[in-house]
Amino acid sequence: MKILHLIVYLFIIGLILIVTGCDKEVSHSPVAPQPSKGKVLVNSTPKGFSIYQNGRNTGRHTPDSLIFLDPGKYEITLKKLYWKDTAVVVNVSEESPGSVNINYLPNISMYGKLVFYSDPPGAKIFVNDSLTNNVTPDTLDHFLPGTYKIKFRTDNHRDASFDAIVESGKIKSYNATLKDTSVWLDYRMVNSDIQSDQLSSIAIDHNGIKWIGTYDNGVIRFDNFTFTNYNTSNSPLPDNKINCVSVDAQNNIWVGTPYGIGIFNGSIWKIYDRYNSDISTEIVNAIKFDDANNAWIGTINNLIMFDGTNWTTYNSQLGHDYITDIYIQPSNKIWLSTLTIGVLTFQNERFFSFSKAHPDFPSLFATSVGSDKLGNIWLSFNPDSAGGSGGIIYVQGPSFTTVFSSGPDDLVNDINIDSEDNKWVSTSIGFIWYNEQNVSRVFSTFNSLISTDNTKASARDKNGTIWIATYKGGLNKFKVNNLR
């Protein structure tokens, strides 16, 4: 009975649902219209133009198509930077697609011209690294719009490079000055691959390779083509500040730093510091070699001799030996310039204060020492805290002669005397040249193409060229034989 009642109940419910459903309307979604089949094929030579439809940027670039267009007329405009806009009207129907195909190359009005001038004139003109048959001044035409890499080149001058923009139907002029390198040439971070502009010292090895000390990035090797940098990140150098660079008889490179000595044989570095040698202080300011190739090392505390095996330390009783430079005479008499006690000599293991014998010395802050062909000792000085002045003197036996007196704020950093008896003096106010007759000439940014007045050290190569280490002016090459 219960099953029968259940069947009757379900039958009645079903009838109610059917009757109720018949009383409601049935809704239907309208059929979507078919999209327009009109389209325009857009192409150009060259490619890459932005496509505008009735003034609106479609976001498309040639070659491409505009689709689902209603029948009618459309203005299609092609645009590209530096090119003239080009607009055409095209009819669109569903039966046949519209077509826009613009070839810009035969259109003379689309091209631009470039006018080139240079100082000096007569420079060869390179376009995108390709040499043209033109020299400055000249006009080059038939350029498609865009940006071109231009380079001017002429003998004894640094190349001038720049970007030139060509616009449709326009003439644009460009002028560039090529730096004269017949006498002066500078290598800085802005114009070369040198790894620092803050240079402290320089030496030239037996193969003519330049070794350049820096204040901030170790030592730099330069073979006239490539700059190679050795610093604390890629070598065992104990510090990136280099106080001095020297070359021994075996062509090893010796580098003095605030934390010891680095010796480079061309492939391997050997480091000497307080942990593996008898160096009592690691701050090394000067390294020179005697005829037996013993290294004489000037530190802030003492003089050290290293024969390759043994370290011998010599301490002066005359005061604090803050040695700044060393010169060794053939008689093995050693001259020492110091920071606070002037000039010392050392011979037969005894120190002598040369400054005390000459109380009229310009200063107790001696910076550099060398010798000319006559055996005269040349010395440079900076102003000291006791009121002494800077300058240059040379010593003849027991007497001395003042050659140059500097101002109260001027520094005389180094004297380099070459085989022809020229004296090359590095100062903070320029580079000074004394010839064999001691007639001087000052080179500064005012009267030469040296990159800065603040020069630190110099060396002369076998070709007679002077290489100058400067502070914040990079490396300078002075072709003194070409000096006019």
Give the architecture-level CATH label for domain 111-177: Sandwich (2.60)
As a whole number of Å, the end-to-end CA separation of the chain is 133
Q: Which residues pair with 297 in a beta bridge?
A: 287, 304
pTM equals 0.81
Here the tokens at position 21 are 């459903």
Q: Is the peptide bond before 362 cis (omega within 30 degrees of 0)?
A: no
Kindly state the tokens that stand for 142. 């038939």
Question: What amino acid is encoded at 178 in this protein?
Answer: L
pLDDT number for residue 462: 95
Domains 38-103 and 111-177 share a fold: yes
Domain locations in the chain as residue ranges = 38-103, 111-177, 184-482
Phi, psi of 8 (to 5 degrees): -65, -40
Residues whose CB is less than 8 angstroms from the CB of residue 340 and which lie 6 or more positions away in sequence, other chains included: 319, 320, 322, 364, 365, 384
As averages over each run of 10 residues, the pLDDT of the chain (484 residues) reads 52 52 52 73 97 96 94 95 96 88 96 97 97 96 96 95 97 96 96 97 98 98 97 97 98 97 97 91 94 95 94 85 93 93 92 82 93 94 89 88 89 95 96 92 96 98 96 97 76
pLDDT of residue 31: 56
**349: part of which helix (H) or strand (E)?**
none
- pLDDT at residue number 381: 94
According to the model, what pLDDT value does residue 26 have?
Answer: 52
Residue 474: which of 46, 87, 184, 114 has the closest Cα?
Answer: 184
pLDDT of residue 10: 53
Q: What is the pLDDT of residue 22?
A: 47
Q: For 362, which DSSP code?
A: S
Is 38-103 CATH 1.10.10.10?
Answer: no
Which of the following CATH numbers is that of domain 184-482: 2.130.10.10, 3.20.20.110, 3.30.70.20, 3.40.50.410? 2.130.10.10
- 369-421 pLDDT, tens digit per residue, is 999 999 999 999 999 888 888 999 999 887 889 999 988 889 999 999 999 99
Please check whether residue 478 is in contact with residue 204, taking contact to mean a CB–CB distance below 8 angstroms.
Answer: no
For residue 355, give the 3-state DSSP assignment: helix
